[in-house]
Amino acid sequence: MAVDAFVRLENVAKRWNGQLGVEHIDLTIPRGAFVALLGPSGCGKSTTLRLIAGLENPDEGNIRIDGRDVTTLPASARNLSMVFQSYALFPHLSVAENVVFGLKVRRVGRTERNEKLRRALEITGLLGYEARKPAELSGGQRQRVALARAIVAGQPLCLMDEPLSNLDAKLRTSVRKDIKKLQRDLGMTVVYVTHDQTEAMSMADRVVLMEGGHIQQEGPPEDLYYRPANTFVAEFVGSPPMALIDTAALPEHAGAARLGLRAEDVRIAEPGRGRLSCTVAECEFLGSETFVGLVHPAAVGLTVSVPGLRQFATGTTLEIDFDDGALHRFDAAGQRLAGSG
């Protein structure tokens, strides 16, 4: 086991009535890391989090936290805190009472409780809200109360399950920055479940992308974007996702079954000088750039990114060009080939 392995899952599997939850999960999380478990609904990310938390027991494999085998230990014995999608606040308790509830249960002294409470409220920007009830708070403030509760727990490991999904877009951006700053300032190890790739890519040191109960790829966010391990990763990561092109359209690359191409690597060419002739399907203006969606019989998801506002009528023929070095090559099974991109 690696020296810096703080959380370690070794060949972990979980099934319900023979139905797959997760299978062959091998994962090492370094101390102080921010790791995002990313993937579509039903991929196994929440199951993996619940296994780490002790809310589920694995059918196979071992789970270690800080060198200790916790495979069969309850959540209360794993030295961790949790932040949930639902906030899980007591509606009849004030902000202060919600934050220190766990400390009271553990019979922490009043002086220490008050010190921890003040620090947590200061960190989360909730000073002055101590007497308010959850119903008097905005969604973002309620989520900050849940974060403050995790802070006062003082545990080195914090598990977060879709904590921002109930917030609007502007609040999500704000609280996302808060969480990342808290993790950095406190030196916590965070395991964060999300289906939102923007959250995962902007917050995490490492992203674990899952599908079908298996890990498809794990590593720094830039690895998943620039060096996808397979076509699932290529199509899931990125907005817009990577286009996939059948090599029939580019026979000079016949050594691969499919080719991947990012929107920023595509150029609009002069008529008669492009490598592919496509039809415009849509234009999406985003302020600093416009995404032009293209249709080609041998491609899926082909898009070109152009700066500023550009409008092309639907059905317009455009020729596109790109460098060979920008192409990602995949075999017939969808796995990345050496020398791609």
At 341, is the pLDDT very low, low, confident or very high (cuts 50, 70, 90)? low
Q: How many residues does the chain have?
A: 341
Give 175-228 pLDDT, tens digit per residue.
888 889 889 988 999 999 999 999 999 999 999 999 999 999 999 999 999 999
Are residues 302 and 296 in contact, defined by beta-carbon separation less than 8 angstroms? yes
Q: Say whether pLDDT at 87 is over 80.
A: no
Q: Token digits for 61?
A: 């494999």
Note the pLDDT of residue 3. 47
Give the count of beta carbons closer than 10 Å to the beta carbon of residue 181: 11
| Domains of the chain with CATH codes | 5-231 (3.40.50.300), 239-330 (2.40.50.140)
Is pTM beyond 0.85 here?
A: yes
**Is 227 in contact with 280 (CB distance < 8 Å)?**
no
Distance CA 157, CA 33 (A): 10
Q: pLDDT tens, 266-281? A: 999 999 999 999 999 9
What is the tens place of the pLDDT at every residue in 12-31? 999 988 788 999 999 999 99
Contact 194, 207 (CB under 8 A): no
pLDDT for res 124: 83
Question: In the prediction, which pLDDT does 139 show?
Answer: 84
The counts of H helices and E strands in the chain are 8, 19
Q: Three-class SS of residue 194? A: strand
